[in-house]
Structure 1
Amino acid sequence: MIKRFRSIWLLWLLCLIPVGTAYAVDRLFLAPECPDCNSELTSKLPLFDGTQQGLVRIDANSMEFRARVAGFDNKDGEGVILLHGFPETSIMWQPLIDKLSEAGYRVVAFDQRGYSPGARPEDDKAYTKGKIARDVLAIADAVGFERFHVIGHDFGGAMAWVVADRYPERVMSLTAMSMPHPSALAESLQDLAPQIRLSSYILFYKMPVLPELVLGFDRAAYLRHFRWQDAPPEQIAEYEQVFGEPGALHAALDWYRMFEFRSLDPLGKITPPTLFIWGHRDQAFGRRAAIETANFIDGPYRFHSVNAGHQLMLEVPETVEDDVLDHLANWRRVTEQWNDRIAAMPQDNGSACDQSASPPPCLSIFVAQDGKTLRIRNRCDKPYEGVVRMSCSAWGPDASVEYRFDLGAKSEMAQESTGFSFGDCYYRHRLCGASTAEQHAGPAAMLSQP
């Protein structure tokens, strides 16, 4: 037994020798000459006082965040908070920051927990979704946003979903880019489907030590060649500066180690007006999770699938800017319209859709951005009926169409309309219930009601 134990330890030591050697070579010969230069430069930035533009420091949640701010001379402008993903910083948002501030918004894009030198706890448990979400509220409080629009990409998109779910009273609207609703992503991971393959990199990120060594070796050479290759030089320079200093990459990877998509505290339905932009060539998040995100929305919702991959701000910046500006300009009108129409609906007409049951994940609803396609898929073992209400920007302010459907088990249906444009369309589905055998007349039925 003792001999076997020694053999195991010897094997471990043999494995650690090349890892330790590579780490030593990287730190002694390949690391930046000033490993703390990002921290030093950040410490010299001015503290935010409501008058600056550009790079500042913001005191929030007992930490200090490096941030880009703009538009604070727009005294009555609505607040916008931008959340970056991995492995990036707030500089990824610079083109959108400029557009939003020019349109009259007050904008904050901050380097999130672990990315800011002054907000980098050493404890892995400091990177839970609840604590990171509270950073967003603390930033909002520090800059004077009682309510705000939240926009996030990649893991920043995941945190935007969390903030809208847990603090809907603070959120005017939500824009998620690339990242589906985390509960939809969790559902897509349950089957041996393409999402398992697409998300396999997360298993690597969750490993101890090895991801930091591979991704950080030679001044983050792997990230430079395989993640930042399409970014402009000024972005790459900042990323190298941030992730070249000790602790930054480890803290950023702790997000993956602590975030559980199959959580015991899952996200619920999102009620603020929501825009979800997803590239159908995305190599991280697949189509199923993107489509089924609609099942976790209980408010005005627009899904825009674009011809792009994962890096939407680099690949289709003009599309993102147009979508976001339109979404932010119309959130109040859309919210009021939906609330008025829902309040005016009969509450007791014998339909299963008037019950208080939420539609199950096996029932998915998809409405194309232009409103010309409505598709409902029932993968459940029993029939379902429900209501989908759609409103489009090309219609009058109070105009909408209501679709009542009665769909058999393991079936789907689609309604196509061509010949004229509806503009940008939003939809909301009402609570649905299972049809009884007496109620269900056939495999599929749909009634359109103005």
Structure 2
Amino acid sequence: MIPTNGLRLHAAHEGEGELVVLIHGFPQSWYVWRNQVRPLVEAGYRVVAPDQRGYGLSDRPPGVEDYDIRKVSADIVGLADHLGAEKFTVVGQDWGCITAWHVALLYPHRVRGVLGFSVPYVPKMLRNWAEPAMHADSFWYARYFLQPGVAEAEFDADLTNSLMWMWYAASSNDSGKDMAEIISGGPKDRTLFDGLGPAPTSIPGHSQADIDYCLSLYRESGMRGPLNYYRNMPRIRELTPWLEEARILVPAMFAYGSDEPVTRRTAEFDTTLSKAPLDQQEEYFAQLLDKVCIPDAGHWPMVEQPDAVTKLVLGFLGEVAPAT
């Protein structure tokens, strides 16, 4: 339990050397990075992988406003402060990627480099994510999540079934079941898991022990904190208006799975964009070192293709923060 920014975050923390912060997304935990922690430590890095606020064993402040982008970004800097690291490298996935982009935007003097998985950085897209024009008349998961108490009630009614569907459908799998079928389309007033039936019993890259542990963290935390991140998406523009057209200045890299649902969805997300968000990345980074597609991976490449992700992270660290 590490004190930071007025609360405590539960985190895996190991090693010595240059600090690397690994940030998970929704609906995951620090454990999504389980395959990367030890190899990074053995390569000479100090690694901290927290449960973000509201998740797992970390503190869970009660208010929706407690999860805004400035607060969750400050949590990461506070971890580095507590560990005595003036500079650090930040690696994030999904909502952890959004956090990582904003840590680099808000604290460029502290960040050696930023590596993001799954969610490309396009300010307009992120700020409009909860209310996309293309789903104005149909179901859209982020809009559904905006209603306090509604989505968590659906998740909590059968937490195992709900999370297994989220983890499985976002993975690269052979069933033909796509995350897009869960998060979008159909009647505007439907619920998230309408008509899906029993969830699969296995998840790519997960043993049964892995699944049991991940479920135990959500039984501890509930879903309110994790969902509150989405409830703050409409406030990103309000809280950081100076970032509307900002570029990320520190060295950066973006990676995604070949079956990544977010990258596929963002390709058609906003017809007012001149080109797909993935193809706009160079416009929003001063030093974009690379964009990397990881074969045979979906939304969780760090568990679906752990060796490839570890190699990628180590290669990036070798560029921005060589181990001493």
Match of 1:84 among 16, 19, 24: 24
Q: Which amino acid aligns with 1:316?
A: Q
Is residue 154 from structure 1 mapped to residue 132 from structure 2 by the alignment? no
The correspondence of residues 330-341 of structure 1 with structure 2, limited to 5 A, is 330-331=319-320
* Aligned match of 2:7: 63
Q: Which amino acid aligns with 1:315?
A: E
Output the TM-score relative to the length of structure 2: 0.76
Identity, % of aligned positions: 28
- 8 Å CA contact 2:68–2:235 kept in 1: the answer is no
Q: Check 1:126–1:186 CA distance in 2 against 1; reply closer, same or farther (3 A cut).
A: closer
Is residue 281 from structure 1 mapped to residue 259 from structure 2 by the alignment? yes
The correspondence of residues 47-126 of structure 1 with structure 2, limited to 5 A, is 57-71=1-15, 74=16, 77-126=17-66
Supply the distance in 2 between the matched residues of 1:96 and 1:64 (Cα, whole angstroms).
23
Residue aligned with 2:60, SS: coil
Is residue 205 from structure 1 mapped to residue 145 from structure 2 by the alignment? yes
- 8 Å CA contact 2:20–2:45 kept in 1: the answer is yes
The structure number with the bigger radius of gyration is 1
Residue aligned with 1:214, SS: helix
Supply the distance in 1 between the matched residues of 2:44 and 2:260 (Cα, whole angstroms).
32
Q: Deviations over 1:220-268 (max 9, x none)?
A: 32112442533332332222112113x5311110011112387242532
Output the TM-score relative to the length of structure 1: 0.56
Q: Which amino acid aligns with 1:243?
A: Y
* Aligned match of 1:319: 308
Supply the distance in 1 between the matched residues of 2:234 and 2:83 (Cα, whole angstroms).
30
Supply the distance in 2 between the matched residues of 1:88 and 1:198 (Cα, whole angstroms).
27
* Aligned match of 1:260: 234
Higher strand share: 1
Shift of residue 325 of structure 1? 0.6
Q: Check 1:199–1:319 CA distance in 2 against 1; reply closer, same or farther (3 A cut).
A: farther
* Aligned match of 1:304: 292
Supply the distance in 2 between the matched residues of 1:86 and 1:198 (Cα, whole angstroms).
22
Supply the distance in 2 between the matched residues of 1:199 and 1:303 (Cα, whole angstroms).
31
Q: Check 1:105–1:296 CA distance in 2 against 1; reply closer, same or farther (3 A cut).
A: same
- 8 Å CA contact 2:89–2:321 kept in 1: the answer is no
* Aligned match of 2:194: none
Is residue 224 from structure 1 mapped to residue 164 from structure 2 by the alignment? yes
- 8 Å CA contact 1:125–1:258 kept in 2: the answer is yes
* Aligned match of 2:123: 183
- 8 Å CA contact 2:142–2:230 kept in 1: the answer is yes
| Cα RMSD, aligned residues only | 2.6
How many equivalent pairs are there?
Answer: 271
**Unmatched 5+ stretches in structure 2:** 169-202, 268-275
Shift of residue 133 of structure 1? 0.5
* Aligned match of 1:142: 82
Supply the distance in 1 between the matched residues of 2:98 and 2:142 (Cα, whole angstroms).
14
* Aligned match of 1:243: 218
Supply the distance in 2 between the matched residues of 1:113 and 1:168 (Cα, whole angstroms).
22
- 8 Å CA contact 1:92–1:313 kept in 2: the answer is yes
Is residue 272 from structure 1 mapped to residue 250 from structure 2 by the alignment? yes
Residue aligned with 2:287, SS: coil
- 8 Å CA contact 2:122–2:280 kept in 1: the answer is no
